[in-house]
Amino acid sequence: MGKKSRVKTQKITAAAGMSPAPSSKEMLLLVGDLLEICSVSQVSPSKEWEEHLQIRAQVEKICKKQKGLSVVFPGSREDYFDKFMSWASENGILTEGLEICLFPDEGYGLKTTQELKAEELFLWIPRRMMMTVESAKTSILGPLVAEDRMLQAMGNVALALLLLCERANPSSFWRPYLCSLPSHYDTPLYFSMAELHHFLGTQAMHDVLAQYKNIARQYAYFYRLAQVNPAASKLPLRDSFTFEDYRWAVSTVMTRQNQVPLEDASHVTLALIPVWDMCNHTNGLITTGYNMEDDRCECVALREFHPAEQIYIFYGNRSNSDFVIHNGFFYKGNVNDRVKIKLGVSKSDRLFAMKSEILARGGIPASTMFSLHCGEMPVPAQLLAFLRIFCMTEGELKECLVGENVMEKIFRLGDPDFPVSWDNEVKLWTFLETRVSLLLKTYKTSLQEDENLIADPQTSYRTKMAVRLCKSEKEILQGVVRYAACQRDTAHHLQKSGAPLPSPVVCKSTSFSEAGRKGSESKGEVCGEGWNNEETMEPRETSNSANEMASKADI
């Protein structure tokens, strides 16, 4: 069926002037080499760029062979918006008062045609309209998911492959949705080498390169699987599965996925949620939840919106590095912005055993990534506790290990109001100031140079994004240096004046762990890191309270 419509979207195989489609054997060899290059683990930071060049060269070789083989829809996405919104409303999505509109900063988004009050329900999407990992299991992809451990463990990959299978099917139920999606993205997977270069020296660079490597490795793994596994014999991926296809599908999932509860609420699953995923991000609270009674995702207004205004939602507590790497945009004025910094107790430290024991009791690894935040309070409780332990004398360490109320003492280490000693305070703030000042020296450009590049109309959107990230990292780090110097001076002054240490009457803190973000854990040896964009919608009673939903949904 669908021969006629297939003509429109089917791949172009060896059209005039093009090289003939590569043989499966040839492709398997190229892809096998890619898998090998991408399977080297633990590359030292100084070698990561070199490794990336090697991966890129192999990917480019593959892409050259695959030129013209991807499925593309004719015309542009806006040609399909009317059909998409009609399909959505005919199938139970509440679209009344909503229009898709082009906005200068965020691309397409949702506009309200009516007055919306804060916390007013304006959009719902029934479960059957979502593309979920469960849809993948019951689709043509089902037999492969049932067989492959990697696909079972990585819902985001299953969703990406489902997108590609549905895109190749002219009679897909999802067609109006698929046609409405962007044809390309601004995630770093799409950056040219020249654009990527602007991440050099940033704290985000490692994650940018790791993302590319993971996706290239996944592509090689799943390309091979589609070719050799009998459970994949009926998949359109066997005839055509290009790197470009995978980069598109991964970026679609990465920039639009969300977690929703399963029907029986036992677990969560990943979902693409049509129409809702047209909403762009602003600072605020999560206002989307899952109504288990009506089995649908519901979204209430973050604040009041007037007719013709864009409706924004809040994507979650993410840094600009998260936004750039996983969503392909930089958000100016991000109140949750932060920079990662690696700190650890050296194994050659004479007091390593005591320090790591106290850290372990407080749930902090002896060596890990910490966050430095933007704003007035750049040092979170967990990092403060680490720094205090890191700088303790043997006597101070013993006090946290033996005696009464040691756990209370350990948890209090994250409380800025209760220093261990003035000497410890002076040491830890001096250490942080020095460490972050050194980090600032590794950046390749000055703030002024960044600003010039951003202001230059010749600079590409993607380059601007990388430069803005670089600039914001430096600004956060400069803020930390100023804060640490100020804290050090205050402690020094109090020490000199013989001020008594504040003594706690009631223990204020019970834990200094930072709220963990979903999706950052490693999900499999071949596939590496998750794509780190999903938020969770927890089951909830029918309610319009934005705050109630936010507290339940923002994990």
Ligand X SMILES: C[S@@+](CC[C@H](N)C(=O)[O-])C[C@H]1O[C@@H](n2cnc3c(N)ncnc32)[C@H](O)[C@@H]1O
| Residue 249 · residue 168 · CB < 8 Å | no
Shortest separation between residue 479's beta carbon and ligand X, angstroms: 22
The residue written with tokens 């100023």 in the block is 482
Shortest separation between residue 534's beta carbon and ligand X, angstroms: 12
Nearer to ligand X, 36 or 105 (CB): 105
Coil vs helix vs strand at 314: coil
Nearer to ligand X, 325 or 400 (CB): 325
Coil vs helix vs strand at 311: strand
| Residue ranges that bind ligand X, judged by CB under 6 A | 105-109, 182, 186, 255-256, 277-278, 280-281, 327-329, 331
Coil vs helix vs strand at 173: coil
Shortest separation between residue 177's beta carbon and ligand X, angstroms: 11
DSSP 516: P
Angle between helices 243-256 and 155-167 (to 10 degrees): 120
**Quick one: residue 367, left, alpha or beta (phi over 0 = left, psi -120 to 50 = alpha)?**
beta
Backbone angles phi, psi at 415, to 5 degrees: -95, 115
Shortest separation between residue 516's beta carbon and ligand X, angstroms: 23
DSSP 428: H
Nearer to ligand X, 327 or 532 (CB): 327
Shortest separation between residue 326's beta carbon and ligand X, angstroms: 8
Q: Residue 300: in which H helix or E strand, if any? A: strand 296-300
Shortest separation between residue 360's beta carbon and ligand X, angstroms: 38
Backbone angles phi, psi at 89, to 5 degrees: -70, -35
**Cα–Cα dist 323/330, whole Å:** 6
Shortest separation between residue 517's beta carbon and ligand X, angstroms: 17
Nearer to ligand X, 109 or 316 (CB): 109
Shortest separation between residue 99's beta carbon and ligand X, angstroms: 13
Shortest separation between residue 187's beta carbon and ligand X, angstroms: 7
How many Cβ atoms sit within 10 Å of the Cβ of residue 318?
23
Nearer to ligand X, 69 or 271 (CB): 271
For the CA atoms of 75, 79, 80, 83, what is the dihedral angle to 10 degrees? -140
Tokens representing residue 254 in the block: 């990465």
Helix/strand/coil (H/E/C) assignment for every residue in 431-490: HHHHHHHHHHHCCCCCHHHHHHHHHCCCCCHHHHHHHHHHHHHHHHHHHHHHHHHHHHHH
Nearer to ligand X, 184 or 234 (CB): 184
Nearer to ligand X, 327 or 371 (CB): 327
Nearer to ligand X, 166 or 425 (CB): 166
Q: What DSSP assignment string belongs to 24-36?
A: HHHHHHHHHHHHH
| Residue 314 · residue 323 · CB < 8 Å | no
| Residue 267 · residue 169 · CB < 8 Å | no
Nearer to ligand X, 77 or 361 (CB): 77
Nearer to ligand X, 66 or 321 (CB): 321
Shortest separation between residue 555's beta carbon and ligand X, angstroms: 19
